[in-house]
């Protein structure tokens, strides 16, 4: 099993065979995570840099843990505490890190396109850990893994991504990845938070949350990204919650099984109530566990690619 891609920049254009290989390999690593000794020697001797220019809890820890579980040597870089503050350019930083002989770079950056740029200035294999509003491919892969684990398939499922679609890299990666695997993807939210051309991607738009809940098998609930000025697209967070919040009342009224995902971090009481976020339909912490297996899979497949 090997991938056709050298880097994982996004899921746009990634063939279904590659996605299938990543999901199937992750299943093996998911089993490793249940063992008393959760470590394999697969990437021994490989050096991986985690380059985080933007805050992260789940993705950063998940990648670092995945690298350690695969026995790779890991280096963590964050913007604060680096020589970026002394005026060093991004390109110079990368050239210096590359001079230390690294094999792979995991990068999160507030600007869309940075991982793609890295593929031009570095010989290392690049993995996008979220770039601006562009893509967050490993999040969508762990979402797909978690859905498939619960529902046994992706093909033919109806999946609605709810919330701040315009500011979301998770939404775009979900759309590309899930469609490639044969799922029907829709979005739901205020029109001010939905990109105007999204229908051209084959995505249905809902503005009625109850209809979105009743017509779909899976809801992927997103956070309002206040750090990306999403607050200017809605009158107030309370208003957003009243019209689009995932509440126990709305879920129970639906009267059928539904699977609820959230990439985190959660803003409790805004896009989802605590009752639902901790309730029987959600798989939020399973997503986090599966995220380590997905990242092990991606690192292994790219790190051992001939
Ligand atoms: N889901 C996700 O990307 O979370 P973090 O920002 O904490 O990494």
Q: What is the pLDDT along the chain (306 residues), one digit of tens a residue?
A: 799 999 999 999 999 999 999 999 999 999 999 999 999 999 999 999 999 999 999 999 999 999 999 999 999 999 888 898 899 999 999 999 999 999 999 999 999 999 999 999 999 999 999 999 999 999 999 999 999 999 999 999 999 999 999 999 999 999 999 999 999 999 999 999 999 999 999 999 999 999 999 999 999 999 987 666 666 788 899 999 999 999 999 999 998 999 999 999 999 999 999 999 999 999 999 999 999 999 999 999 999 997
269 lines ligand 1 (CB under 6 A): no
pTM of the entire predicted model = 0.96
Shortest-distance atom of ligand 1 to CA 59:
8
Kindly report the number of other CB atoms within 10 A of residue 55's CB atom. Answer: 14
With b meaning 16 or more CB within 10 Å and e meaning fewer, what string describes 173-209? bbbbbbbbbebbbbbbbbeebbbeebeeeebbebeeb
Domain that holds residue 209: 137-285
- Bridge partners for 107 per DSSP: 51, 128
| Cα 305 to averaged position of ligand 1 atoms, centre (Å) | 27
| 173 contacts 128 by C-beta, under 8 angstroms | no
Tally of domains within the chain = 2
- CA 245 – CA 254 distance, rounded (Å): 14
| Residue 111 structure tokens | 């600007």
- CA 280 – CA 288 distance, rounded (Å): 17
| 135 contacts 11 by C-beta, under 8 angstroms | yes
Which residue of 56, 132, 161 sits with most ligand 1 atoms within 8 Å of its CB, as the best mutation to test the pocket? 56
CATH number of domain containing 204: 3.40.50.1370
Q: Are residues 292 and 277 in the same domain?
A: no
- Residue 69 is predicted with a pLDDT of 98
Of the candidates 143, 148, 237, the residue with the CA atom closest to the CA atom of residue 190: 237
* CB-count burial class (<10 Å; 0-12, 13-18, 19+) for 218: buried
| Cα 170 to averaged position of ligand 1 atoms, centre (Å) | 10
Q: Are residues 150 and 21 in the same domain?
A: no
Whether 155 is in a domain gets the answer yes
Q: Are residues 127 and 169 in the same domain?
A: no
């Amino acid at each position: 099993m090997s991938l056709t891609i050298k880097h994982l920049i996004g899921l746009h254009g990634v063939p279904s065979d590659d996605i299938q290989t990543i999901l199937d390999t992750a299943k093996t690593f998911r089993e490793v995570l249940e063992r008393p000794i959760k470590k394999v020697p697969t990437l021994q001797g490989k050096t991986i840099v985690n380059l985080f220019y933007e805050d992260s809890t789940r993705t950063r820890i998940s990648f670092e843990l995945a690298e350690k579980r695969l026995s790779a040597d890991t280096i963590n870089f964050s913007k604060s505490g680096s020589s970026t503050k002394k005026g060093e350019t991004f390109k110079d930083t990368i050239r210096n890190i590359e001079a230390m002989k690294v094999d792979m770079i995991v990068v999160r950056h507030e600007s869309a396109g940075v991982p793609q740029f890295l593929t031009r200035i570095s010989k290392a294999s690049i993995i996008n850990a979220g770039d601006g509003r562009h893509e967050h491919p490993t999040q969508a892969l762990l979402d797909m893994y978690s859905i498939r684990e619960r529902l046994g398939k992706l093909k033919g499922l109806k999946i609605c991504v709810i919330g701040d679609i315009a500011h979301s890299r998770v939404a775009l990666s979900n759309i590309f990845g899930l469609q490639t695997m044969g799922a029907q993807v829709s979005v739901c939210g205020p029109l001010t938070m939905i990109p105007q051309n999204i229908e051209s991607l084959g995505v249905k738009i809902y503005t009625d949350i109850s209809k979105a809940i009743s017509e779909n098998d899976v809801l992927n609930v997103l956070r309002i990204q206040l750090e990306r000025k999403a607050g200017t697209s809605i009158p107030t967070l309370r208003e957003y919650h009243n019209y689009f919040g995932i509440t126990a009342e709305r879920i129970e009224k639906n009267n059928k099984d539904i699977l609820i995902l959230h990439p985190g971090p959660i803003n409790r009481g805004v896009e989802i109530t605590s009752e639902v976020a901790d309730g029987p339909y959600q798989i939020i912490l399973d997503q986090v566990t599966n995220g380590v297996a997905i990242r092990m899979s991606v690192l292994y497949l790219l790190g051992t690619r001939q």
